[in-house]
Amino acid sequence: MLGFLRPRPGNLRAWQLALLLALFVFWHLMTTPGLLPPFMFDNERQAAFFFGEPLSVLARVWRWFVVDADIYRHLGVTLIETLLAFVAGSVLGLGGGLWLALSPMASALLEPYVKALNAMPRIILAPIFAVWFGLGIASKVALGVTLVFFIVFFNVYQGVKEVSPVVLANARMLGASPRQLLRHVYLPSATSWVFSSLHTSVGLAFVGAVVGEYLGSSQGVGYLILQAEGTFDINTVMAGILVLTAFALALDAAVGVVERRLLVWQPRAGETAKI
């Protein structure tokens, strides 16, 4: 019986849901007056003021999606900004990483500039992009691209650099052309690195969209959160964070599905040991 309750691949999803439920129960206990004695606050209502109440947060999400149904326009804007930044940043990072990895002279020439741009705190570019591109979608996408690009770029660059010299030599001996080397050697080698970076880039694309909405917009989930912060409505702030987190996880899951389809040639976890 105890063995059945232990976490294992068969019941891992149930354990994850149970942990999520436990976190919500703890949150509810700590922010509901009268259920637990106050530990860190002078009175029972301070915890709810700073952290919100989970039931009120879920009620706010319910009103957004079902009762009032007024979040879809804002959520659509944020998702469009995120997807555009994610796709554009990933494509540019993939192309730039391949180019510099396969061009030693260009890599040596541009390396200090790439490192300098990567070291720059990109969030400070948001006001500049707002001046350049206005307060519409373009400025949010531009900020998201700067966040996504370098993650993908450095992973692709490293993945191509780590191609086995033996594999390259054998392919060249068999008469592979540069295009064939790119398609059958370099790209497969970099693919796993690319998808590893894409899982991180999904969250960063959301960051770019939301931060841009904070600095200037009239729509988007970031705009809703900013408006709620202005009125100290912590429950709406938490509801916005919850919605953004859920959709970020959904996009990450979509990236995982594409990854599993494209990397079917790679052994899954545990298969190598069986072999």
| 8 Å CB contact between 228 and 236 | yes
Q: How many CB atoms lie within 10 A of CB 5?
A: 10
Please give the DSSP secondary-structure letter assigned to residue 233.
-
Q: Which helix H or strand E contains 118, and what residues bound it?
A: helix 104-119
The answer, yes or no, to whether residue 184 has pLDDT greater than 60, is: yes
- CATH number of the domain at 189, please: 1.10.3720.10
Q: What is the pLDDT of residues 124-174, one digit of tens each?
A: 888 888 888 888 888 889 988 998 998 888 888 887 777 767 777 777 777
256 within domain boundaries: yes
Is the predicted pLDDT of residue 241 greater than 60, yes or no? yes
**Does residue 124 sit within a domain?**
yes
Q: Is residue 36 part of a domain?
A: no
- What pLDDT is attached to residue 268? 55
Tokens of 116: 């300098």
- Cβ–Cβ under 8 Å, residues 94 and 195: no
Q: What are the distances in angstroms from CA 140 to CA 83, 118, 151, 216, 243?
A: 11, 18, 18, 10, 19
Owning domain of residue 81: 71-264
Convert the pLDDT of each residue in 60-83 to its tens digit: 888 888 888 888 888 888 889 889
Six-digit token string for 179: 């295009």
In this predicted structure, what is the pLDDT of residue 275?
44
Q: Is residue 192 part of a domain?
A: yes
32, part of any domain:
no
Q: Identify whether 275 is part of a domain.
A: no
Domain membership of residue 140 (yes or no) is: yes
Q: Structure tokens of 129? A: 């992009």
In the chain, pLDDT over 90 holds for what percent of residues? 2
Distance of CA 217 to the CA centre of its chain: 21
pLDDT averaged over every residue in the chain = 79
Maximum Cα–Cα distance across the chain: 77
Token representation of residue 17: 């849901």
How many domains in the chain?
1
In a domain, 52, yes or no: no
